[in-house]
Structure formats: structure tokens, C-alpha cells
Structure 1
Amino acid sequence: MKLIHTSDWHIGRSLYGRKRYEEYRSFLAWLADLIAGEQVDILLVAGDVFDNSTPGNRAQELYYQFLVEIAKTSCRHVIITAGNHDSPSFLNAPREVLRFLNVHVIGCITDSYHDEILVLKDTQGEPELIVCAVPYLRDRDIRKAEIGESPADKERKLVEGIKEHYQQVCAQAEQIRVQLGKMVPIVAMGHLFTTGGQTVEGDGVRNLYVGSLGQVGNDAFPACIDYLALGHLHMAQKVEGAENRRYSGSPLAMGFNEAARNKYVCQVVFHGRQPEVSLLPVPIFQNLEGISGDWKTIQHRLEELKTCGGNVWLEIIYNGAEIIGNLRERLDEIIEGTSLEILRVKNDRVLQQALSSINSEETLDDLDTIDVFMRCLDAHQIPAEQREELLGVYNEAVAALYEDGSDE
């Protein structure tokens, strides 16, 4: 029995204003071909199918077209659980129809743990797998708020609630396995942050957690689980080194900080109850690259990329000593007529230079808005003949902010 474990598609996500529908179309086509070519029996999608709770028409179209394509392959079952970015009600709405395609959707928990347990059957109608399809567990679903409780109390109750939920669901799954009289594997799914999980700056996950907030230890998952398929963290990784407890990671780089990282789906082949796990690399459908340094470094790398002739989306971070007021214009001139596209330019030097002109004994509280602007003019060595016009435009902008009479 062969499974593919994936998660964190985030269909509909944009990158600095650029929509990525063609990337998602290419990924889903690749995944459908992989499932057909590898004769995959079961597909697990562990949350964050969409990037937000109200996906647009094109995102929905990609999702449903993919499920139709999968129905034409050898894949007998698709199990989809909701992540924190998904709307439980939106995912659940078509689940009765999707069930005719052997697509099982679990958008949220219910009053019965049994609703999260799926007994999947093979082509002969015999049970072949038990899936504990646990969706993203929201705070309000597993913890009761009490007056006067401390942040530590909230943290403890949240982790205890998650642990209790998995204990209950897995206990019922184990009971079902005993009743079947057949030692079929148990797979559990989840969308959460485990202790020691690795994140990348800018991946959309790191900022959700402070310290140990919401982080669940490996001991939260019962020993009866033969494979644990997790989502939420965008880097493919093991849970505390366990071979059979994995994050598949996101199939696409969520930002430029992930651009150099390989992306995967997990292939799981069961021999009885023993899983054999391997990582299958996902192709790059849109090249991303972040370039940082002084002007010479940036210029040199752009010239190299021009020679390669590829279609690359770029993030430029300038941190050289020279003040470059027309940085964007210079960059656009270099890439004109190429397939290179700059999505973001960050000029670290401008702010640093402006603030460095503040006396060491001064603070921003000592300066008004005009003082700060004048320091910027000084930092950029703006000629006296240009200052009057610039100051007039600046004063208009400041005045516009206070038209409502507010001083905030």
C-alpha cells in the first residue's frame, strides 16, 4: 500500500502582489502525474489547502479540477483535513458530493471523536488502513477560557487539550483495529506546531508562536500510530527525529527566504504495519532569488542571471555604504528586455543614513516631523534649490494625515 503525504498548498497565495496560479496549476498537474505513475493508493493532505478562508474562483477551480483528475487514477482515497488558513465550513460544504469521488474532507471536530476516524478499504472491499483525520484544533474547540487564568494556564490547557484529543481519537481507532481482527496500519493526521519544529523567517508560521506557545511534544501522539502525517511547518522534517512522524512541508517556497530550499512530498509504503518513508522532490515551477549586498554585488549577480536567460522573480536588498537614491531606476535599467522581474526592493541604507544624522543625545521624541524630513534631506545631500519644493510637497502630505482633526 502506497501513500503520498503533502500539506500547506496555500492555493491562492500571492508574493508581493504577484498571483501564483500558474505555479499551483503546474504543481497539481505534477502531483496528479506522480500519483498515476507511481500507482499511489491514498493521498493525505494535512491542512492549509487554501491560503485564506475565502478563496477566489481560480483557486477553487484548481482545487476541484485536481480532485477530478485524481479520481481518474489508481488512487482509491483522498483525505483532506483543514489547516489554520482554511475555512472549516467552506471545506466541509461539498464533502457529501466529494465522497462519491472517494474524497474524504474533515474541516472541523464534532461532538463525536468517531467522525474523525476513517476505515479505508482496498479493491476487494477489505479494510486496509485506519486514518485518524484530525483537523487543525482551534483554541475554542479544545479549551474553556476561565476568568483570571494566566498565560501559563492558557498554554497548559491548550497543550493538554490537543494531547487529550489525540488520545481519545487514537484509542477509538485502536479499538476498531481490534474489532477488525486484522492488524491494519493506523495513520494520524494533524496541523500543528511540535516542539523543536524548524521554521524559516518570512514563511508565515514563525511569527505565530512565541516561546513554547502551542507547541506540542512528541508524547502527545499515542504509540499505536504507525505513521503521523503533519502539516503547518513549511520545512520538510521529522518530529523529534522519528522516521515515521513527519512534516511534508509546503510544496512551493512561500517566500524568498525559502527560495534555496528543496521542497518535497512524502511517499510512504506500508509493509504490514511498517512504513517505509522517502522524500520525493517537487520541481521548481517559478525560480525565486534574493540578492543582497552592495551595488557591485547586486549588479554582478543580475548580469549573471541575464546571461542564463531564465525567468526569475527577484528580491533585492541593498545594504552598501553608498547612498543610492535612484536604486529602483538603476535596477530596472539592468533587467530591461529580460525575463527577470523584481518583486521587491529594500534599500536598508536610506533609513540607516537618515537616523545616523540624529545626535547621540537625541531621540525621535525630541524631533518633530519637519526635523526628521530635514535630516533626510541633509543625509541625501539635496541641493538648496530643490528643498523648497520638496518641503512644500512634504507639508501637504503631512497635512493630509491630519485632515480628520486627529493627532494620532
Structure 2
Amino acid sequence: MKLIHTSDWHIGRTLYGRKRYEEFESFLDWLAETIQQNEIDALLVAGDVFDTSAPSNRAQELYYRFLCRVAVSSCRHVVVVAGNHDSPSFINAPKELLKALDVHVIGSRTEAPEDEVLVLCNEQDAPELIVCAVPYLRDRDIRVAEAGESIEDKERKLIDGIRTHYAAVAALAEQKRKERGADIPIVAMGHLFTAGGQTVDGDGVRELYVGSLAHVTAGIFPACFNYVALGHLHVPQKVNGLETIRYSGSPLPMGFGEANQQKSVCQVEFHSSAASVQLIDVPVFQKLERVKGNWNGITNRILELSATDSQGWLEIIYDGIEVIGDLRERLELAISGTQMEILRIKNNRIIDRVLGQIHEEKTLDDLNVNDVFERCLAVHDVPEDQRPELLRAYQETVSSLYEDDVQAE
């Protein structure tokens, strides 16, 4: 039994205004070919299929076309769970139709835990894999808010809710395995943030719960899980060093901070219920390059890239001492005649810092919603002792907005 674990496709995501549909299409074509070449039996997608809860028509086309292609390949099963970026109702809408193609979608926590426990059968109708398909668990799914509770109370209830949910689906999975009298592997899926998880600056990974709470530990997953396929973090990584609890990471770099990161998907092979994991490197479909330095350093790097006929998208970070008023014009001239494109220019002029002036050209792309709110508090001279409580209240409001399913009605 062989499966591929992937997540965090973020179909439809843009990079500083540049659409990336060709990259997403190239990745999905590559993934379909990899599934066929490696004779993969099951594909698990651990959330954040789309970048927004209202994906464009083109994003939807890429998704459904891929599913149809995989359905007629060697892959017998596809399981997709929603992430925090996905609309639960949108993911669930074609549920019955997709089931006819052996594609199982779980958009949100179900009323009956057994609906998240899938027994997948081979061509002889014998069970070969049990999947606990747990989607992103929203705050309201696992915690009842009470007046006057502290941040610590919220954190405890969130983690207890996540632990209780995984314990329930694990118990059902073990029961189903016992009923069938076979050593069937049990795989769990999830979209969450584990303690110690590695992120990269600018990757767009947002905290899932208010105040950066509920970073769960590996111990939250019951021992009966032979493999845990996680999504949410974009850096491929093991959880607590464990081979069989992993984030596959995003298949495309979500920002320039991930430009030099090797992206991959996880191929998991079961011998009885023992899992072995191999990473399959994802090709680079669009080169991203962060070029940082003074003027000479930047132009030298551009010349080096030009000599290789690079078609890369560039982020330029100028940190030279010289004040260059026409930096953009000079840079555009430097790349003229090449196939490179500058998506972003950041000017960190040291002389301005010496003078105590701030000219870092911060844009909304550089700030998250908490940064913006904190700047508002500072601008309006809100006393320091009042800021923590106001920030927590703001975070709760933003969190509830993120979790609203705008596609539900």
C-alpha cells in the first residue's frame, strides 16, 4: 500500500499581485504524473487546497480537473480535508458526486465522528487503509466560550477539545480494524499548528487560535495511528523528530522567504501496518530570487542571473549606504533585455536609520493584521497597560471573521 501525503496547495494565491495559475497547473500535472509513475494507491491532501474561501473559477477548474485525472489513474482513493483557508461548505458541496470517483472530502468537523473515519477498500473490496480524516478544527467546533474565562482557560479547553476529538476518531478506527480482523494501517489527517513547528518569514501561515494558542504536542495523537499526515506549516518537517508524524509542507514557495527551500511531498509505504517514508522533491516551476545588498552587490547578482538566462521573479532588498532616489528606475534598467521580473523592491537605507528616520517602505504586504492594530494603538496614544486586553479582544474578533464560512449561504 503506497500513498502520497501533500497539503497547502493554496491554489489561487498571488505574489505581490502576480497571478500564479501556471505554477499551480504545472504542479498538479507533475503530481498526477508522479502518482501514475509510482503506482500510488491513495492521495491525502491535508488542507488549504485553496488560498481563499471563495476561490476563482480558474482555481476551481484546476482542482476538479486534477481530481478527474487522478480518478482514472492507478490511485484508488483520494481524501481531502479542509484547512483554515478553505470554505468548509465549498469543499463539502460536491461531496456525493466526488464519492462516485472514490474522492472523499471532509470540510468541517462532523456531528458523528464515524463520518470522519473512512475504511478504504482495494479492488477485491477488502479493506486496505483506515483514514481518520480530521479537517481544521475551528474554535467553535471544540470549545464552548464562557464569560470571565482566562487566556489559560481558553488554551486548556482548545487543546482538550483537539485531544478529545482525535481520541474519539482513533477509538472508532481501532474498532473498525478489530471488526475486520486484519492488520490494516490507520492514518490520521489534521490541519493544525504543533508546538515547535518551523515557519518562514513571509510564508503567510497565520495563527489558528487567539493569541497564538493551542500549539499541540505530538502526544495529542493516539498511539494507534501508524502515520499522521499534517497540513498548515509550509516547511516540510517531522513533528518532535518522529518519522511518522509529518508536515508535507507547501509544494510551491509561498513567498521569497521560501525561495531556497526544497519543496516535497511525502510518499508513505506500508508493509502490514509499519510505515516507511520517502520524500519526493517537487520541481521548481517558477524561480524566485531574493537579492540583497548594496548597489554593486545587487547589480553583480543580476548579471550572474542574466548569464544563466534566468526567468526568475526577483525581490530586491537594498541596504547600501548611498541614498538612491531613482532605485526602481535603475533596477528596471539593470534587468532590461532579460527575462527576469522584479516583483518587489525594499529600500533599507542605512543613512536614514542613522538619522533616526524610518524609510523601510513598509506596505500592507509586510504587516499582518495584528501589526496594523498595534500601530493604530500607538498612533492613538492608547496607554501601554490597556493594550494587551484590547489586542486580545481584537484577535478574537479577527479569528471569528476568519472562521466564518462565507460560502455557506
Query: TM-score when scaled to structure 1?
Result: 0.86
* Letter of the structure 2 residue corresponding to residue 179 of structure 1: E
Q: Contact conserved, 1:195 with 1:212, CA < 8 A, in 2?
A: no
Aligned residue for 2:100, secondary structure, equals helix
Compare 348-357 and 280-289 and name the one that shifted more: 348-357
Off by >6 Å, runs of 4+ in structure 1: none
* Letter of the structure 2 residue corresponding to residue 42 of structure 1: A
Q: Distance in 2 between matches of 1:237 and 1:246?
A: 6
Identity of aligned residues (%): 63
Structure-1 residue corresponding to 2:269: 269
* Letter of the structure 2 residue corresponding to residue 287 of structure 1: K
- 1:109 shift after superposition: 1.0
Q: Distance in 1 between matches of 2:308 and 2:95?
A: 47
Unaligned runs of 5+ residues in structure 1 are: 359-408
Q: Contact conserved, 1:203 with 1:234, CA < 8 A, in 2?
A: yes
Q: Distance in 1 between matches of 2:323 and 2:293?
A: 13
State the number of aligned residues. Answer: 358
Q: Distance in 1 between matches of 2:127 and 2:78?
A: 15
Structure-1 residue corresponding to 2:127: 127
Cα offsets for 1:302-342 (capped at 9, x unmatched):
11111111210000010110000100000000111210100
Structure-1 residue corresponding to 2:282: 282
Unaligned runs of 5+ residues in structure 2 are: 359-409
Structure-2 residue corresponding to 1:26: 26
Alpha-carbon distance change, 75 to 161 in structure 1, aligned in 2, over 3 angstroms: same
Structure-1 residue corresponding to 2:35: 35
- Is 1:111–2:108 an aligned residue pair? no
- Is 1:57–2:69 an aligned residue pair? no
- 1:172 shift after superposition: 0.8
- Is 1:159–2:164 an aligned residue pair? no
* Letter of the structure 2 residue corresponding to residue 237 of structure 1: Q
Structure-1 residue corresponding to 2:296: 296
Aligned residue for 1:156, secondary structure, equals helix
Give the alignment's Cα RMSD to 1 decimal: 1.5
Q: Distance in 2 between matches of 1:139 and 1:351?
A: 47
* Letter of the structure 1 residue corresponding to residue 111 of structure 2: D
Structure-2 residue corresponding to 1:341: 341
Alpha-carbon distance change, 260 to 57 in structure 1, aligned in 2, over 3 angstroms: same
Aligned residue for 1:315, secondary structure, equals strand
Structure-2 residue corresponding to 1:5: 5
* Letter of the structure 2 residue corresponding to residue 85 of structure 1: H
Structure-2 residue corresponding to 1:149: 149
Query: TM-score when scaled to structure 2?
Result: 0.85
Q: Contact conserved, 1:200 with 1:206, CA < 8 A, in 2?
A: no
Q: Contact conserved, 2:320 with 2:350, CA < 8 A, in 1?
A: no
* Letter of the structure 2 residue corresponding to residue 23 of structure 1: E
* Letter of the structure 1 residue corresponding to residue 200 of structure 2: V
- 1:352 shift after superposition: 3.0
Which of the pair has the greater relative contact order for Cα pairs under 8 Å at 6+ separation?
2
Aligned residue for 2:289, secondary structure, equals strand
> Residues 198-209 of structure 1 correspond to what in structure 2 (within 5 A)?
198-205=198-205
Compare 152-161 and 323-332 and name the one that shifted more: 152-161
Alpha-carbon distance change, 232 to 168 in structure 1, aligned in 2, over 3 angstroms: same
Structure-2 residue corresponding to 1:362: none
Structure-2 residue corresponding to 1:402: none
Q: Distance in 2 between matches of 1:250 and 1:101?
A: 25
Structure-1 residue corresponding to 2:240: 240
Q: Contact conserved, 2:321 with 2:350, CA < 8 A, in 1?
A: no
Aligned residue for 1:152, secondary structure, equals helix
- 1:349 shift after superposition: 1.2
Q: Distance in 2 between matches of 1:314 and 1:322?
A: 21
* Letter of the structure 1 residue corresponding to residue 114 of structure 2: H
* Letter of the structure 1 residue corresponding to residue 239 of structure 2: V
Structure-2 residue corresponding to 1:137: 137
* Letter of the structure 1 residue corresponding to residue 188 of structure 2: A
Q: Distance in 2 between matches of 1:212 and 1:50?
A: 23
- Is 1:230–2:230 an aligned residue pair? yes
Structure-2 residue corresponding to 1:217: 217
